[in-house]
Amino acid sequence: MQVRRSHIRYKEADEIEPTNVSKDKVEEYSRSVADAFSFKVGDDPVVLIDRLGGRISYQNLDDWIAEGGSIFVHKTNDFDVLLPRYTHPLRDRFTIAHELGHYFLHSGQGETPIIAHREGSTRIEWEANWFAAALLMPKAEFASEFQRLNDVGRIARQFGVSKAAAEVRKNALALGS
């Protein structure tokens, strides 16, 4: 399945400008998006993709690699998120939220056509990760649940993320051991 459209001039990953705002500002923006779309802890980010006019395609590894991107933003309310078939649904939830980060932060909600790749350690990838973490594991709720439960595995299940994602969030928020 080819999602790149030949008549659109996309900004490729290395041409996309980061927002260069602080992690806290990305967190605030992510929460404002969640509030605007009534997205709550545990909600399925696929529903948000649908509401925004996006599509998700699951591909075999070879097709996913050949396509050369994880999100193709064509225009406002028209984008495609590509996921490999072999990943776990909890991993996919974070990836989908990450791609939404690119949609909101780097394409201006579709005003700039972009192709972003989920690889590397660039500023735009950090920003998309910060957005995803805040969307799926809001700071206040996560900190409160960590204080209450002090168990990363249980918290991960509650927030619908992998244990690894919950561990990274715990460390990023400098919460206990």
Token digits for 32? 């404002």
Q: Please measure the distance between the N-terminal and C-terminal CA atoms of the chain and give it in whole angstroms.
A: 45
Q: Is the pTM of this model over 0.75?
A: yes
Q: Which amino acid is at 168?
A: V
Query: What pLDDT is attached to residue 65?
Result: 60
For the domain with range 13-136, which CATH number is right: 3.40.50.720, 3.40.190.10, 2.60.40.3080, 1.10.10.2910? 1.10.10.2910
In degrees and rounded to multiples of 5, residue 119 shows phi and psi of -155, 160
- Using the CB atoms, write b or e for 101-133: b if 16+ within 10 Å: bbbbbbbeebebbbbbbbeeeeebbebbbbbbb
Mean pLDDT of 21-40: 97
Query: What pLDDT is attached to residue 86?
Result: 85
Cα angle at 87 between 96 and 84, to 5 degrees?
Answer: 70
Q: Which amino acid is at 17?
A: E
Which of 102, 113, 29, 118 lies closest to 78, judged by CA?
Answer: 113
Each domain of the chain, given as residue ranges in start order, spans 13-136, 138-177
Per-residue pLDDT tens for 123-147?
A: 999 999 999 999 999 999 999 999 9
Query: Mean pLDDT in the chain?
Result: 92
Which of 109, 81, 75 lies closest to 96, judged by CA?
Answer: 81
Token digits for 40? 């709550």
CA distances from 158 to 33, 66, 88, 151, 154 (A): 21, 35, 16, 11, 6
Instruction: Yes or no: say if 141 and 41 are a contact pair by the CB < 8 Å rule.
Output: yes
Per-residue pLDDT tens for 90-113?
A: 999 999 999 999 999 999 999 999
Pairwise CA distance, residues 173 & 1, whole Å: 40
Q: Which amino acid is at 30?
A: S
Per-residue pLDDT tens for 45-91?
A: 999 999 999 999 988 766 656 565 689 999 999 999 998 888 889 99
User: Is the pLDDT at 165 greater than 90, yes or no?
Assistant: yes
